[in-house]
Amino acid sequence: MIWNRAVKKILVLGCLLMLAACSSAPEQTAGSGGTLRAQIVSVSEQPFPLVADFPGSVIATREVQVASRIMGYVEKLRAHEGQNVKAGELLLALDPNDVNAGIHQAQAALGKADSVLVDAAANYERFLALYQEKAIPEQQFQQVEMGYKVAQGDRAAAAAGLEQAKAQLAYVEVKAPFAAVVVNKFIDVGQLVGPGQPLVSLQETGALQVQVQVSQQAYEHLLLGQQLTVTFDGRNEKTQAVQATVSRLVAAADPVTHSHTVKLDLPVDSCALAGDFVRVRVAIGEERGVIIPRDAIMRRAGIDGVFVLDSLGKAAFRMVRLGPSSGAGILILSGLVAGDQLIIDAEGELYNGALIEKVQGQRG
């Protein structure tokens, strides 16, 4: 027991000696003696723009589904996915046999109506002369007159039917309404299609837009014609940024998300493609805060911080909470206040307790 107590006393004494040695050790790291030259900046509060990013997608200015106007079998199919077509270019053609048969039938109906009208006109002329001579009663003449008018109406209806049948012939060939790229086709050769059935989907080439849903706060800061920054994934795996113009502002908000639809026109040389994912940056105001250069931020043991000059003229590491960044620098949410002396551009590696010699001049 006495021996154990002696050992414990020796161990405690050793620990005390080690702690005393650590507390008396200099703050600077091994091999880092001397004074560090550095610039000192007195931080102050500055206006900082507040921005918000919203996800959106690139869409074609015009996208339509071309549908059939008549019923028929697909005889020719010239359109394929990814194909660029010109305005008026043939996309597909239907079998015209049924349409031609309808035209022949309408022509026959018109010929029959013409014959009936000729007979009705002759009867009308004959009975008109008899009626004027008071050879027939008025009721009989009115019946003949009514038959003549009916024959005229039947002839006009037959003529309209022929024109309608001929018009169907124009729908046999389906052509592109504008210069576009074929996004999808919904039919194949030999397939029977009916009126209103989608045939192909087209997206107008050249003009592209960005469609995005923004918050009420962001919507209130937008104007038609305003320029916004849009970033998207380029074709070369590089993030690109372009300036797009606000072209549509939908005042009615979505009842579920309470967001507003906004459309922006992209420049022709944006390299974007329909379907690309983008982010739209909207300025939503500004606030005042401490802004420091990006390269003043240092990381120690996984903690973001800066070195400031203390009252003794020495460097002291201070943990900070970073906010958003802009062209002016990074906004500091906490850790620095106006008047703090920030150490930048040190001529050597900074460490706690390093004696700092102020260097005059501005950063290059």
Domains of the chain: 63-95+172-204 (2.40.50.100), 97-170 (1.10.287.470)
Q: Quick one: pLDDT at residue 325?
A: 77
Residue 238, pLDDT score: 55
Q: Output the pLDDT for position 117.
A: 92
pLDDT at 363: 52
Residue 215 phi/psi, 5-degree rounding, is: -75, 165
Model pLDDT, residue 29:
41
Q: What pLDDT was estimated at residue 239?
A: 60
pLDDT of residue 15: 39
Q: Which pLDDT score is estimated for 289?
A: 84
In this prediction, residue 202 carries a pLDDT of: 92
Distance CA 322, CA 333 (A): 6
Determine the pLDDT at residue 33. 53
Residues 75, 92: Cα–Cα separation, whole Å: 8
SS (H, E, C) the chain: CHHHHHHHHHHHHHHHHHHHHHHCCCCCCCCCCCEEEEEEEECCEEEEEEEEEEEEEEEECCEEEEECCCCEEEEEECCCCCCEECCCCEEEEECCHHHHHHHHHHHHHHHHHHHHHHHHHHHHHHHHHHHHCCCCCHHHHHHHHHHHHHHHHHHHHHHHHHHHHHHHHHHCEEECCCCEEEEEECCCCCCEECCCCEEEEEEECCCEEEEEEECHHHHCCCCCCCEEEEEEECCCCCEEEEEEEEEEECCCCCCCCCCEEEEEECCCCCCCCCCCEEEEEEEEEEEEEEEECHHHCEEECCEEEEEEECCCCEEEEEECEEEEEECCEEEEEECCCCCCEEEECCCCCCCCCCEEEECCCCCC
Residue 10 pLDDT: 43
Q: Report the distance separating Cα 325 and Cα 42, nearest Å.
A: 19
Q: What is the mean pLDDT of each run of 10 residues along the chain (364 residues)?
A: 42 40 38 74 85 90 90 92 91 92 92 93 90 88 91 93 90 91 92 93 87 94 94 65 93 92 90 86 86 88 91 92 81 89 89 87 49
